[in-house]
């Protein structure tokens, strides 16, 4: 568990969040276009009510159809935004967990470096107790 894993996870997190930001800007632009198409359709509806011309009604239906396609694309970008945010958060969580594992490994290495000295002194002390002829019993 080196620092490369942590750095890679942080980079994935930042890239995912950057992608989510890009998806947000695209979605916002498409929603603005959809609002404009809605206003255009409403204006065409008012014009149709005044003139009762079928060509205006057909134009209004085409406007609403194009608004629908724009809104579908905007929803796809919103899905991408949500996936980017979730991937970014999960990658950040993974980076934190890798960081904690790296710290735990370094602490375990420190303990392992100190442990051989204690084991040698513990073995010598245990062998001297085993060599003594008197053994304490729990009944005394």
Over its length of 140 residues, how does the chain's per-residue pLDDT go in tens digits?
Answer: 568 888 999 999 999 999 999 999 999 999 999 999 999 999 988 988 888 888 888 889 999 999 999 999 999 999 999 999 999 999 999 999 999 999 998 888 888 888 766 555 555 555 555 555 666 666 65
pTM: 0.68
DSSP 45-88: HHHHHHH--HHHHHHHHHHHHHHHHHHHHHHHHHHHHHHHHHHH
- For residue 26, give both structure tokens: 């695209």
Local structure of 116: helix, strand or coil: helix
**Which residue shows structure tokens 């735990």?**
104
- For residue 59, give both structure tokens: 């134009």
Helix 54-131, helix 3-51: angle, nearest 10:
160
């Amino acid at each position: 568990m080196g620092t490369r894993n942590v750095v890679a996870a942080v980079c994935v997190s930042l890239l995912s969040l950057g992608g989510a930001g890009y998806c947000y800007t695209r979605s916002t632009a498409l929603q603005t276009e959809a609002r404009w198409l809605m206003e255009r359709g409403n204006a065409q509806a008012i014009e149709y009510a005044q003139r009762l011309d079928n060509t205006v009604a057909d134009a209004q239906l085409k406007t609403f159809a194009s608004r629908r396609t724009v809104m579908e694309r905007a929803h796809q970008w919103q899905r991408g935004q949500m996936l980017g945010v979730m991937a970014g958060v999960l990658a950040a969580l993974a980076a934190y967990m890798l960081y904690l594992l790296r710290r735990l490994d370094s602490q375990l290495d420190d303990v392992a470096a100190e442990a051989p000295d204690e084991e040698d002194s513990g073995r010598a002390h245990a062998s001297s107790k085993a060599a003594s002829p008197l053994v304490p019993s729990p009944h005394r």
